[in-house]
Chain A
Amino acid sequence: MEDVLSNIYLGLTVALQPQNLLYALVGVTLGTLVGVLPGLGPLATIALLLPATYHVEPTAAIILLAGIYYGAMYGGSTTSILLNIAGESATVVTCLDGYQMARKGRAGAALAIAAIGSFVAGTLAVVGLMLLAPPLARVALSFGYPEYVALMITGLVLVMYMTSGSMLKAFMMICVGLLLSMVGQDIISGEFRFDFGVLELTDGISLGAMIMGLFGVSEVIANLTSTNPPQVVTTKFRDLLPTREEWRQSSWPMARGSLLGFFLGLLPGGGAIVASFAAYAMERQISKTPERFGQGAIEGVAAPEAANNSAAGASFIPLLSLGIPTHATMAVIMGALMIHGVEPGPLLIRDHGDLFWGVIVSMYIGNVVLLILNLPLVGLWVQVLRIPYRLLFPLILLFCVVGAYSIDFRLFDVGVMLAAGVAGYLLKRFEYEPAVLVLAFVIGPILERSLRQSLLISDGSFTIFFTRPISATALLICAALLISSLIPAINQRRRQAAAAAAESE
């Protein structure tokens, strides 16, 4: 307990530094803005703002990026409730009852319950992060090269498992990401690989430019083809205070949503998005009046809003303690940490305690700021929705150009970003998952180094990965996940074969 208190004190001294306070404020404000604006998700924004963090301290950078992520969860509910448009994919389900409440003149109550539910759940997640991450990291400190290989493979399999598309394509994205990570100087022999005589490639491909292209530029390009730009439909909201009955109806759903979201946030599979849908489904299932759902039931706002926020916080636990990102946004934050020379994983809490505890305490502060931003200032965010996309997208693209250029002051990186933007657009259109590619790119160097070192230790024997308990268990989990993901496809094929046989008879 004393340890925790002294660590919180350390976190307070870091988070309360004026620069870090400012970055927390900027992060949650930008996050709310991004959450409110439909079409620009937290992933793209974190990618776009990555270069802006290059010249600041790593702690301030992660405080800013984390603030954008959990801030977006708050902001997304405003658009869902007031406009029936999901500002962020994790708040899609809030539209169902939130908008119906707004139509009945209870928009204020819906917004208040969403914000308070988010605050309670966000705080719970931070407490969980504070209590669970350090012991997990301590266990992981005993890891050697083979355990690292198994851990990295687990990370890849977990992210692959969460992808909704084809497993085969996810495998291909892993290979492409790994190959791209090998461009440049080999970390062990010093030999240059795949540079094809291009001087700029000897340093490898810039992660920042690639992330901005794959997630930022590609999203802008994809939005250009949309024939239905988001239409703003406003509604009125009167008072912000829920009635006593509404408080009573939403308190348990809020608590259940927070807990469910927390556990789902720890697991791979979409984090906040899945958590919000699962919490909504659970509340409808256990409700004595399920017919009220979809007609403006406040439980349908409280539970998913609490769930998506606690899931957002919980997903930091596997990233910061084990170095495993459970979804694409966490993979980008992992990339940001690595750009700043901080390797996420077991050593992070020991070697960068100030960063870890500073980020945690800033999350507490950020949650309070978000409550203030999202309740009294809600009218301001509604005005933001009136900015037309035709004015926004050129400025976003110019921002990307400046961002990519500022990485190393090379036009080559702008070219990399542009190429990654085209690649990201094509990958999404052809149903490949760029997030898997980025994760493989990020962990590629660690995986390759650990694999080669393990083989050197074992004299070339691959059994080293199966004779050590931790790596063997991790690889068994990977195998189980892979098999479980293949079962539905096998069953479907069997059914198709049976149907075809029945037809031919």
Chain B
Amino acid sequence: MHYSFFSLLQNALTGHRGWTPTWRDADPKPGYDVVIIGGGGHGLATAYYLAKEHGIRNVAVLEKGWIGSGNIGRNTTIIRSNYLLPGNIVFYELSMKLWENLEQDFNYNAMVSQRGVLNLYHSDGQRDVFARRGNAMRLHGVDAELLDREQVRTMLPFLNFDNARFPIQGGLLQKRGGTARHDAVAWGYARGASDRGVDIVQNCEVTGFIIENGHIAGVETTRGPIRAKKVAISVAGNSSRVAAFAGLKLPIESHVIQAFVSEGVKPLIPNVITFGAGHFYISQSDKGGLVFGGDLDGYKSYAQRGNLPTVRDVCEGGVALMPMIGRVRILRNWGGIMDMSADGSPIIDKTPVEGLYLNAGWNYGGFKAVPAAGWCLAHLIARDELHPAAAAFRLDRFARGAVLDEKGQGPQPNLH
């Protein structure tokens, strides 16, 4: 069913009885051309672009729970492409461009809102770093504006400009950045893929690989073995576990990051704001809740929940930045499990097992990357060659010493 003003009107006049399920919940077939492990944003986007751009429709997406139950439902919905390193900028800008046309492309309201992302700076040194990043972005054709203190004050008069330790000196603004509705992204891609013949199989956990003569031949699942010519791993948070079924050891640790949403309040925060003196980022959802988060908890975890010291740290950052939110009540908080890679950048590559592809290591940048990760992984699966925008995201870059370390932290995943 194509969604349009006309279909809405027609269903409004007939009591909304004509709506059909958005996508088809399939049972697994014995074999496919391509099996994608993980029914999150990345996996569903990959299936969608495989079917739409490459005409490969005999595809299954296997999800251990229900689609969208992983990190696509556990993020702060921010989209942006304000990166420094050449290998990263090109990729995230491709993603940004796909976001900008996403709703028209898959005919679903993902509520993409380009409300702007503002990174605040609080010292001369930090201003220089941000100016450098802004210049790198502009050289790659990405929009960036360096604002001074008065320009930020005009935009956001409620910030604590005269904090004794961290006075706000200005910010780096990417106007095209913003937010999107996370669940709708999963559902939109699921619908687009399902309409083109992709099987979305839920409650189907992969428990092993079928490998014949060094070539992938399928997967073992809780719903029986499924044969496949090609298999892609797209299971952020559990990449190490799934890759271990194929005997691979990855440069990844799984970490928990917490996020929070407050009670709904009237429109207050017009864009996405990040605090440069601590680690705190905030935006306001269309329902009115303030959505915010901060640092990782710092220790390896598969638990999807965090500890209180981080909650306190995030809230302290928020109140330091904008004291007015001090009395807003937190409605709920959650933890998502991140693939923290050894250099803070992702991996989209082939593996030593022929026909097995890996999409992993998204750190806490997985959401904004959804369209481009799907686009590039689909390209890799369909043509067996790397997409130019993701050419730096090689699995062997660590062994070669060609790491993409945006923050310059070294091989310590919990510091990225």
Do the two chains belong together in a single complex?
no
